[in-house]
Amino acid sequence: MTDSLRERTDPLTGFDIGGTWLRHRSGDTVTRRPAPSLLNHPGLSVETLWDMLVCELTTAEPRNGRVVVSLGAAMDDLTSQVHGSSPLWGDARLSRNLRMELRQRRPDVEWHVHNDVTCALADFAARLPAEAGHVGYLTVSSGIALKIADLGSRTVTVDGSGLQGEIGHLPAAVPAGLGRLLDLPCACGGAGHVAAVSAGPAIPRVAKALGLEPFDAAAFPGRLSEGDTGAWHLLDTVTYPLAQAIRWLWTTQPRLTVTGIGGGVAEALGAHYQRSLEGHLNRDANYSQGDAGRQVVRVLAPGETDPIRGAQLLADGFLSVVKT
């Protein structure tokens, strides 16, 4: 990415809407507050939560007349049609156009609304050379999803609904002897999904299913650093479905050269998370992986990838979303 492009994106106003937090950027100032989500407000209706979200966004005072939004939901990046989000709205299936509703409320603003993983992918990819080819970004936070871009053409290919990489709602692979984890509920209404085992809200339930002491998120990194066997058993269990998903990527996406892993869970655990994933990936290697060296998988540092900055890059055309 050129310096001129970064300078052009800096003055914008932006939002990053996740299941846990809402981040608001105005110029160089970033504030954070609880997101208007079902995860934070379990007693509220989807309609009320949607209205809270729209109100949050439309109170913005945009710089240069436009606002960019990174939204943690399954959605069509081209049309801004929102399909749903377990952390934000549970199992509700939506058909609402967020950008259109924002324009109706605030026609004085130029709105740009994109999926948060597309945004994070854009920011991650902007620091890589075009020769990197196909690059991926996997988020592990209150939800789980993946996106892949072709840096040669600067495109992200999606299906007819505008979707790609909603792997959090695929059936999870679990370690041998732990089939009971497939009974764990997913916020989408299903059970045994990747997100039901590996997403942030799932970890306390996995700990209980393993018969471990109640999960303490604040103490967890320290326990891992101390080599606590229970903590490592828990981490290796919740990373297992993602390691198997990465194996599928290696097998089915031969042009993928590097995958960055971000999101609150992965970034908070950093090197511990990397070690756990690599432990799984280094086990049971066989001839099917060839001998040319495997694709790079890297857990990113906190703040290394910024969805708001990525939303600004998408607004400026750094990547284009194309439908098959």
pLDDT of 135-192, one tens digit each? 999 999 999 999 999 999 999 999 999 999 999 999 999 999 999 999 999 999 999 9
Judgement on whether residues 230 and 184 belong to the same structural domain of the protein: yes
Judgement on whether residues 94 and 28 belong to the same structural domain of the protein: yes
Judgement on whether residues 99 and 219 belong to the same structural domain of the protein: no
Judgement on whether residues 108 and 8 belong to the same structural domain of the protein: yes
Q: What pLDDT score does 27 carry?
A: 86
Judgement on whether residues 156 and 282 belong to the same structural domain of the protein: yes
Instruction: Please give the average per-residue pLDDT across 29-56, as a whole number.
Output: 97
Judgement on whether residues 162 and 290 belong to the same structural domain of the protein: yes
Percent of the residues in the chain that have a pLDDT greater than 90, as a whole number:
86
Judgement on whether residues 240 and 270 belong to the same structural domain of the protein: yes
Angle between helices 46-58 and 98-105 (to 10 degrees): 50
Judgement on whether residues 71 and 173 belong to the same structural domain of the protein: no
- The CATH number that applies at residue 28 is 3.30.420.40
Confidence of residue 1 (pLDDT cuts 50, 70, 90): very low
Total count of domains within the chain? 2
Q: What pLDDT score does 130 carry?
A: 84
Separation between Cα atoms, residue 265 and residue 165, nearest integer Å: 18
Judgement on whether residues 105 and 141 belong to the same structural domain of the protein: no
Contact 320, 28 (CB under 8 A): no
For residue 69, is pLDDT > 50?
Answer: yes
Instruction: Please give the average per-residue pLDDT across 12-28, as a whole number.
Output: 93
182 occurs within a structural domain: yes
Beta bridge partners of 29: 26
Judgement on whether residues 38 and 175 belong to the same structural domain of the protein: no
195 occurs within a structural domain: yes
324 occurs within a structural domain: no
Stretch among 41-55, 59-73, 136-150, 203-217 having the lowest mean pLDDT: 59-73
Stretch among 11-15, 20-24, 162-166, 259-263 having the lowest mean pLDDT: 11-15
Separation between Cα atoms, residue 100 and residue 145, nearest integer Å: 25
Q: What pLDDT score does 2 carry?
A: 42
Judgement on whether residues 274 and 312 belong to the same structural domain of the protein: no
72 occurs within a structural domain: yes
322 occurs within a structural domain: no
Residue 108's domain comprises 3-120+306-316
List pLDDT tens digits, range 278-324.
999 998 777 777 765 678 999 999 999 999 999 999 999 999 999 98
Judgement on whether residues 13 and 58 belong to the same structural domain of the protein: yes
